Amino acid sequence: MKNNILLAAVFVALASSASAQYSDGFESYANGSAVEGQGSWGNWDGVNTLYNKVTTTQAATGSNALSVVGSGDPNCAFCSDTVNPLGGPYTSGQWVFSCKQYIPNSFGGTTYWIMLNQFAAGGPYSWSVQVNMNGSTLMATPDINGAAVIQGPNSIPIVFDAWVELRAEIDLDADNCLIYYDNQLMGEYTWSIGVSTVGVAEIASLDLFPADNNTGEVFYDDFSVTVGTGGGPSLFCNPANLNSSGTAATLAGSTFSGPGLFHLDAIGGPPAEFGYFLVAAASLDPGIPVSGGRLCLGAPIGRFTASAGPGFSSIGQFDGAGIFQNLAGTSSVGSGYDVGQALPDPPGGVISAGATWNFQLWYRDGGAGPGSSNFSDGIAVTF
């Protein structure tokens, strides 16, 4: 019990160290007031227009949020292009940008989540994040410079009529960035040249941009920039071997979210096939060939199965879209698995702050032949 109390204290201390460098939830602004000119919100190139308003129509928390909509003026394409320096510029260190976005089902046009590493009225400009939410394709798609890509880019279906998180995990010292939509990885790439071919390892500004004057209304709330912890997930043995559906299963969407310490998600698997997650302190890359895949964990290897005890079962099945759905009631979102503090035995013990653990999914792959099985790529997580 004493050890559990001490461990809990460590995690509380870590959470406190990640306090917000910048935050805005619009609660101090009057309903219906223009956001430009309040807080640190302004317009592209300092243009003095007042188009985007604080609203009570939707809110992720509290009662207020930001409405971003096309200007309605064909002669003023950039009038509702709203920018914010987010308390920066940030020139070193590790940072996490996050906000909530709500797109109504009636949305039309294209709206952008943009972040720049250089921004000043009249220039210079250099873009690091550019994700377009398209009302025609119904997809959220990152525009990433091919020379910068480490993994991705991944287009993700827009979630309508619900609040979702937009998140960028930025390491300026390593010039690296991971961007997420609704906790799903869109891409990992070099921050300074993420979109533009020339830039710097800095965070200069956020830009919320309706692509034209007719773009429909989108809502935003709960903006924050927090100090990164230096850990986070990273893939290895990536890509995994192809399975019978012609794709490779990946844990790319796994992230720190929901109950427990970490949420594992897997996509790209063969429909109707079963599997479960594995854990180990040691990783192997490129792994050891086993059946149709590669085992990328070193002994001792733990299995998140019912035999490990209550709450440890991660048994699931890939649905028709290749998403691994939890069948044991151990996922807060229906898919994947919520990793808790305790570890199965082996390896036993608990996950401690600062420790790195490696995870992989084992799954059956009957389409590749009787008795065949396969593995996802691995993901290393520093807690």
* pLDDT per residue rounded down to tens, the chain (383 residues): 323 332 233 233 333 333 447 899 999 999 999 999 999 999 888 777 778 999 999 999 999 999 999 888 887 767 788 999 999 899 988 888 999 999 999 999 999 999 999 999 889 999 999 999 999 999 999 999 999 998 889 999 999 999 999 999 998 988 999 999 998 889 999 999 999 999 999 999 999 999 888 899 999 999 999 877 555 578 899 889 999 999 999 998 888 776 788 999 999 999 999 999 999 999 999 999 999 999 999 999 999 999 999 999 999 999 999 999 999 999 999 999 999 999 999 999 999 877 889 999 999 999 988 889 999 999 998 88
Task: Say if residue 214 is in the same domain as residue 247.
Answer: no
Residues 6+ apart with CB under 8 A from 112: 130, 131, 132, 133, 207, 208, 209, 210, 211
- Is residue 259 in some structural domain? yes
Triad 182, 188, 190: Cα angle to 5°: 135
- Is residue 364 in some structural domain? yes
Task: Say if residue 215 is in the same domain as residue 340.
Answer: no
Contact by Cβ (8 Å): 156, 186: yes
Task: Say if residue 61 is in the same domain as residue 210.
Answer: yes
- Is residue 219 in some structural domain? yes
25: domain range?
A: 19-227
Task: Say if residue 199 is in the same domain as residue 248.
Answer: no
- Is residue 7 in some structural domain? no
CA distance 144 to 153: 7
Task: Say if residue 293 is in the same domain as residue 174.
Answer: no
Task: Say if residue 204 is in the same domain as residue 333.
Answer: no
CA distance 101 to 164: 5
Contact by Cβ (8 Å): 274, 316: yes
Among candidate residues 227, 256, 284, the one where a domain is terminated: 227
Among candidate residues 210, 227, 244, the one where a domain is terminated: 227
- CA 208 from chain center: how many Å? 18
- Is residue 9 in some structural domain? no
Residues 6+ apart with CB under 8 A from 266: 249, 250, 251, 253, 254, 275, 318, 323, 324, 336, 361, 363, 376
Which tokens in the block code for residue 334? 């229906």
